[in-house]
Every structure is written in structure tokens, then in C-alpha cells.
């Protein structure tokens, strides 16, 4: 039996795990992005598919036992992770992640495998709370941009894509400046937002 659909759904997680493997082989942060960017992109697509393309939702739900309760659970996991990071002095955790890129990739794998987009969405709220080194002055600007995008795309049926865009922007804002610099991070965030918005318009 050829399990193509389960493999497609598992692809984001596999990409993150491969990123961890590549980072062990070649311990540079730059090796992560060719894996993590498509992982996020596919992950966002799946969120859109889950909500707006019921045809695909059936097999996904069957194979991965992802249901509404699971999504709520993963959404609740976000604040828990945030609190843990805060209590353990997030600064040192971030330093470890920066110095060991494969751990960052594994963290992404966990996020992608269990949280889809809601977890990064909630994780990304951390900089807005101004906790430790996660603070980044561009985050509120991007957040506002994402809100604007959401407002523009709201009437379209692909609303889930807009949620995905918001998650992408905030997640990128939270994670990337520490590893690739502000301008690449800003470009990536806006590119993801544009991509998801485009899909939302197409879905309409």
C-alpha cells in the first residue's frame, strides 16, 4: 500500500528532523533554512486544507488522529511552553539553541509535528509580551501588517490561510532574527504572508 498522503502530511516534520541531521553534519545555522522554510510553508498549507478543503481533511484526520480536541490541546501547549521558557530564563535557552542549530531544528520538528500553526502562533506572542531576549522591535509592526492582511482577506473563504499567514509572520518574527538577521527575517515573513494571502484569494 502506497501511503502518499500520510507522507505528504508528515513532510513538514520529516523536513525538520532532516534539518536537525543536516545541522549535525554541517553545524551552521544556514543549513537549516532550506528545510525549515518549506516545512513551514507546507504546514500552513495543511492548516488551510484542514479547514477549507474538506476532501483532504478526511484522510488526514483518519491517519493522524488530529481532531478538534487535538488542536485545542496543541493551542494550550503554546502558553505552557512560553511559561517554561520564561521560568528557566529564556535567555540561556536561546543561547543554547543558537549555538546548537540541530536543537533548534528539533524544536521546530516538535512544534510542527504536534502544533501545526497554533503553537508557533502562541509562541510568537512571547515577544509581544516583552520577555527577555525574544523582544524585537519589529514584531509589533509585523503583527499590525498581519492583522491588516487578515482584515483584507477576511471575506474570502480561505480564512484559514490568513490565520496561517499570521502564524508565519509572528513565528518568523520570534525566531529568525536571532539566526539569520532582521532583513532576511522581515523578507521571509512578508513573503509568507503574501503567499498565504494569495492562496486565500485563489480559494475565494
Pull the grid cell for residue 57.
Answer: 481533511
Query: 26: which DSSP letter?
Result: S
* Nearest to another protein of 130, 157 (CB atom): 157
Shortest spacing between CB 86 and another protein, in angstroms: 33
Binding site for another protein (CB under 8 A): 1-8, 11, 14-15, 18, 21-22, 25-26, 31, 34-35, 38, 41-42, 45-46, 49, 52-56, 58-59, 62-63
* Nearest to another protein of 61, 75 (CB atom): 61
Residue written as cell 543558537? 98
Pull the grid cell for residue 126.
Answer: 512571547
Contacts of 88 (CB under 8 A, 6+ apart): none
* Nearest to another protein of 33, 138 (CB atom): 33
* Nearest to another protein of 44, 153 (CB atom): 44
In this structure, are residues 50 and 57 in contact, taking their beta carbons and an 8 Å threshold? yes
Shortest spacing between CB 91 and another protein, in angstroms: 29
In this structure, are residues 115 and 74 in contact, taking their beta carbons and an 8 Å threshold? yes
Amino acid at each position: 500500500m502506497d501511503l502518499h498522503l500520510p507522507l505528504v502530511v508528515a513532510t513538514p516534520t520529516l523536513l525538520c528532523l532532516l534539518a536537525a541531521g543536516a545541522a549535525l553534519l554541517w553545524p551552521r545555522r544556514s543549513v537549516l533554512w532550506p528545510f525549515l522554510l518549506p516545512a513551514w510553508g507546507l504546514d500552513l498549507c495543511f492548516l488551510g486544507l484542514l479547514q477549507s478543503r474538506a476532501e483532504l481533511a478526511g484522510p488526514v484526520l483518519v491517519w493522524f488522529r488530529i481532531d478538534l480536541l487535538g488542536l485545542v490541546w496543541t493551542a494550550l501547549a503554546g502558553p505552557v511552553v512560553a511559561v517554561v521558557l520564561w521560568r528557566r530564563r529564556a535567555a540561556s535557552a536561546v543561547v543554547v539553541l543558537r549555538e546548537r542549530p540541530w536543537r533548534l531544528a528539533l524544536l521546530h520538528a516538535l512544534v510542527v509535528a504536534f502544533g501545526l500553526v497554533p503553537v508557533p502562533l502562541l509562541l510568537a506572542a512571547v515577544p509581544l509580551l516583552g520577555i527577555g531576549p525574544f523582544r524585537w522591535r519589529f514584531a509589533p509592526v509585523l503583527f499590525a501588517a498581519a492583522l491588516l492582511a487578515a482584515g483584507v482577506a477576511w471575506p474570502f473563504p480561505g480564512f484559514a490561510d490568513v490565520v496561517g499567514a499570521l502564524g508565519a509572520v509572528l513565528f518568523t518574527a520570534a525566531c529568525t532574527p536571532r539566526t539569520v538577521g532582521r532583513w532576511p527575517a522581515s523578507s521571509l515573513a512578508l513573503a509568507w504572508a503574501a503567499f498565504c494571502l494569495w492562496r486565500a484569494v485563489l480559494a475565494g
